[in-house]
């Protein structure tokens, strides 16, 4: 395969697909703006609470309620008594955007803290606390909400490596199968990127579980952590990503007769993985935002994946000419 031929194939394929993709994305984005002008792509936010934060009550409440800006699922609900002892709150009901929590026992006088951690449809956990007193307020019990920077670093490292596997690995496999005309420039690079993604995907699932539960990195081996991570929308992203990475690797190391089919299926799975979770995918109307994210992911994988094979082909041209 000559460099000129490879570049001409990318340009011809890219010009047609690029114009279509840009036009389609512009139309979808315009429709999304018209249909949902007030939608913000953000985490779920606490709107109101009962008791209100800082309230002083005359008697123990029978239940608590937390109302958010969008529907959520509780992960951890804890009541911290004035003496600092925690009480797990396990009985709750979901009513649209409100979480109604049963109080299992009468509370004594003093200041209490209702600590909560929930997850919304975008797959991102958020947490906070509500302070209230019964009778005469006392010193507030200490509730640790410090940011675990080690876990934060692990989460973002895992996601970066996963994206390398999806965009450069699976995208590179697609470029090699469909645009290289039998050439294999960039194959080793794409395989290395996919292997990075295969390692990062399951680790990212565990990190998601830790983040959801507010647990430290030392709890990574706990089964509840992995079950929690798998139960979030990001769990679907990881599962579909593993399919994409497996299909991309099969197109590179498997029979060449099936390479194009595997590469195309892998590219489709990249878009599906990104559309399965995240702020934009969870925004309304989902019938517009999810396809928009899908096309965005496929487009990134196509263009980013083609860079390494093309760059390596250009770099090797003098050696081949000599």
Q: Are residues 8 and 84 in the same domain?
A: no
Are 160 and 243 part of one and the same domain?
yes
Note whether 115 and 230 are same-domain residues: no
Place 264 in a pLDDT band, splitting at 50, 70 and 90: very high
Number of domain units in the chain: 2
Q: Would you say residue 54 has pLDDT above 50?
A: yes
Q: Which of 73, 101, 134 is the last residue of a domain?
A: 134
Location of structure tokens 């081949």: 320
pLDDT greater at residue 185 or residue 204 = 204
Bridge partner residues of 117 (DSSP)? 76, 127
pLDDT number for residue 317:
64
Give the whole-angstrom CA distance, residue 141 versus residue 240. 43
CATH of the domain at 112: 2.60.40.1220
Q: Give the integer Cα–Cα distance in Å for 67 and 47.
A: 6
Considering the domain architecture, whether residues 287 and 313 belong to the same structural domain is answered as yes
The pTM score is: 0.75
Give yes or no for residue 230 having a pLDDT over 90. yes
Of the candidate ranges 159-168, 248-257, 279-288, the one whose mean pLDDT is the lowest: 279-288
Model confidence band, residue 39 (pLDDT cutoffs 50, 70, 90): very low
pLDDT bracket for residue 12 (50, 70, 90): low
Nearest to 306 by CA among 13, 1, 2: 13
Residue 222 lies in a domain: yes
> Of the candidates 100, 125, 96, 140, which has an alpha carbon nearest to the alpha carbon of residue 225?
125
Tokens 């994206």 belong to residue: 163
- Residue-number span of the structural domain to which 83 is assigned: 46-134
Per-residue pLDDT at 185: 76
The mean pLDDT value for 82-98 works out to 91
- Residue of 213, 207, 196, 230 whose CA lies nearest to 153: 207
Distances (CA, A) of 240 to 173, 223, 246, 286, 304: 17, 21, 10, 19, 20
Q: With respect to residue 316, please indicate whether it lies within any of the assigned structural domains.
A: yes
For 218-241, give the DSSP string.
GGTT-HHHHHHHHHSHHHHHHHHH
What pLDDT score was predicted for residue 286? 84
Q: So what's the pLDDT on residue 11?
A: 54
Question: What confidence score (pLDDT) does residue 142 get?
Answer: 77
Residue 191's alpha-carbon distances to 5, 165, 200, in angstroms, are: 23, 9, 14
Do 273 and 188 fall within a single domain? yes
On whether both 30 and 54 belong to a single domain, the answer is no
Whether residues 288 and 190 fall in one domain: yes
153/14: higher pLDDT: 153
In a domain, 139, yes or no: no
Same domain, 99 and 155: no
Q: Pick the more confident residue, 77 or 26.
A: 77
């Amino acid at each position: 395969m000559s460099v000129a031929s490879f570049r001409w194939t990318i340009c011809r394929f890219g010009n047609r697909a690029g114009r279509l993709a840009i036009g389609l994305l512009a139309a979808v984005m315009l429709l999304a703006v018209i249909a949902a002008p007030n939608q913000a792509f953000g985490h779920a936010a606490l709107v109101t609470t009962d008791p209100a934060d800082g309230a002083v009550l005359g008697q123990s409440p029978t239940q608590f309620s937390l109302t958010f800006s969008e529907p959520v699922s509780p992960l951890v609900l804890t009541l911290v008594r004035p003496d600092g002892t925690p009480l797990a709150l396990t009985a709750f009901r979901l009513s649209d955007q409100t979480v109604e929590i049963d109080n299992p026992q009468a509370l004594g006088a003093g200041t209490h803290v209702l600590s909560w951690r929930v997850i919304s449809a975008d797959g991102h956990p958020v947490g906070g606390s509500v302070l209230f007193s019964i009778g005469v307020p006392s010193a507030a019990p200490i509730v640790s909400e410090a940011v675990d920077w080690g876990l934060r670093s692990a989460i973002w490292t895992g996601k970066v490596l996963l994206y390398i596997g999806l965009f450069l690995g699976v995208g590179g496999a697609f470029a090699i199968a469909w645009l290289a005309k039998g050439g294999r420039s960039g194959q080793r690079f794409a395989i290395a990127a996919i292997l990075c993604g295969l390692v990062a995907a399951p680790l990212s699932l565990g990190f998601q579980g830790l983040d959801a539960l507010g647990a430290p990195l030392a709890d990574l081996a706990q089964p509840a952590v992995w079950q929690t991570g798998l139960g979030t929308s990001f769990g679907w992203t990881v599962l579909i990503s593993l399919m994409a990475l497996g299909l991309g690797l099969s197109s590179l190391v498997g029979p060449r007769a099936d390479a194009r089919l595997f590469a195309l299926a892998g590219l489709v799975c990249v878009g599906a993985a990104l559309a399965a979770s995240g702020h934009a995918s969870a925004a309304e109307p989902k019938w517009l935002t999810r396809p928009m994210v899908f096309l965005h992911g496929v487009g990134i994988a196509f263009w980013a994946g083609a860079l390494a094979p093309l760059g390596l082909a250009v770099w090797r041209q003098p050696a081949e000419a000599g």
